[in-house]
Amino acid sequence: MMETLELLMPLFLFLSVCILLLLGYPVALSLAGAALLFTGLGFASDTFDSDFLAAFPNRLYGLMTNQTLLAVPLFVFMGVTLERSKVAEKLLDTMSRLFIHLRGGLGIAVIIVGMLLAASTGIVGATVVTMGLLSLPTMLKKGYHSTIATGTICASGTLGQIIPPSIILVLLGDVLSSAYQQAQLEQGIFAPETVSVGDLFIGAIIPGLLLVCAYISYLLLLGHFSPHTMPSAQEHQSSVNDKTLLQRPSLWQIIHALVPPLGLILAVLGSILAGIATPTEAAAVGASGALLLAISQRQLNLATLQDIMQSTARVTSMVFFIFIGATIFSLTFRGFGGEEIISDFLHHLPGGKNTAFLLVMVLMFFLGFILDFIEITFIVVPIVAPILLIMGFDPVWLGIMIAINLQTSFLTPPFGFALFYLRGVAPKSVTTKHIYIGVIPFIIIQLLVLAALAYWPQLATWLPSKIYA
């Protein structure tokens, strides 16, 4: 009876956290509260080793002194500053007029701006809401079908998961770095190799651009085979008699709108690719550049700066509060032997490591319906990543696969987070059904890219190997 209880305690702990989250309790408090409650039960039933919980102060000190995680508040500051400086609004207006004569041009502009905004903010919710407020009314006004407009906005908003520099990749890179070292130590490798946030940034470039190109190709094909879903500028002009719609932007307008944010992103990524800055130092470059850009756009005053800093503090506090709760949860889960149980289960599955990997990806996909990426990164990845890495999977490839998998999950009805974000800012004429139908083609595209990445891991591993060679 006692042995059965020991085996079931990790499962009950995980299920209790999921239930608390579904009931709407704060994530960090749910993680820490459930873990401490089960710790008490473990002490009472003599099924928990207290040495695991005693390691918490050292873990907390390690969190406080982790230089990599300094990139989180800096990238958040960069994203919030760019959002407040109306860079996205100017970009969308210029790019939409640049592609004005191309059927589906506005949709293509939304994807390109979404990509640049995703690379700037790295937060799915912020990108989807911003693009929804800026572009959805315009797309509907210019005759785009509701399903096309909403699907394009949701898909472009989730690019923040994979387009570097991304807060998500910073957090995932830090967790995978620890998992990779743990996996090598368990294999008897006492001079372990390392994987960094920069590796994940570089590894995500080709898959991210592949997704963007696939989105644009879909819109071009849709415009050719189903032109009524997205009228051209000429057709719309003839129906509304608005000659201003066909005015192309001047070269100066294009440069003024595109160069500053693109230059900032290239400065951040370029400093990492060139090896002259760590991701944390590059994040400082990005934060400083965003501040200078806001000043040059004359969008910065004392009140705006105060609002930016408060938003940065709120998001950063949320991330680290979750990290603390997840640390307590992880230690408790391991104290009950949960890691060994999962390891034995995955190692004894029929089909070997490929079946184990597929099962983990499916589990993460469905957990993406109820948990945010940050929670999955801090709760699930530290448990399963060392096991998968011991099986021989490449850490960079694994990180990119997890990121795209969860990006697809956040886009999938009926519980995708991106759908809820857009539903909150969409006009009443746009129904939930329109949003659900609109994202289906983009989900298929992401699954195809995920399959291509599984078949050709070099899509994620080739560029880092060349740069660091």
| Residue-wise pLDDT tens digits, 117-141 | 766 655 666 677 777 877 888 888 8
Res. 451 pLDDT band, cuts 50 70 90: very high
Does the pLDDT of residue 240 top 50, yes or no? Answer: no
Percent of the chain whose predicted confidence (pLDDT) is above 70:
93
Percent of the chain whose predicted confidence (pLDDT) is above 90:
13
Cβ atoms of 357 and 393 within 8 Å: the answer is: yes
- Of the chain, the end-to-end C-alpha distance in Å amounts to 55
Other CB atoms closer than 10 Å to residue 292's CB: what's the count? 14
Q: For residues 303 and 18, which has the higher predicted lDDT (pLDDT)?
A: 303
Mean pLDDT over each residue of the chain, to the nearest integer: 82
Question: For residue range 259-286, what is the model confidence (pLDDT) as tens digits?
Answer: 887 888 788 888 877 778 887 888 888 8
Does the pLDDT of residue 242 top 60, yes or no? Answer: no
Sequence-separated (6 or more) residues with CB below 8 Å from residue 368: 376, 405, 406, 409, 410, 412, 416, 417
* Domain range annotation of the chain: 69-309+396-468
Res. 216 pLDDT band, cuts 50 70 90: very high
Q: Residue 55: what are its φ and ψ, rounded to 5°?
A: -80, -5
Does the pLDDT of residue 164 top 50, yes or no? Answer: yes
Res. 445 pLDDT band, cuts 50 70 90: very high
Q: Residue 99: what are its φ and ψ, rounded to 5°?
A: -100, 25
Hey, is 29 helix, strand or coil?
A: helix
Sequence-separated (6 or more) residues with CB below 8 Å from residue 46: none
Q: For residues 233 and 377, which has the higher predicted lDDT (pLDDT)?
A: 377
Q: What is the mean pLDDT of residues 157-174?
A: 83
pTM of the model as a whole: 0.82
Phi-psi region of 417 (alpha: psi -120 to 50; beta: other; left: phi over 0): alpha
Cβ atoms of 420 and 132 within 8 Å: the answer is: no
Res. 238 pLDDT band, cuts 50 70 90: very low
Q: What is the mean pLDDT of residues 436-458?
A: 93
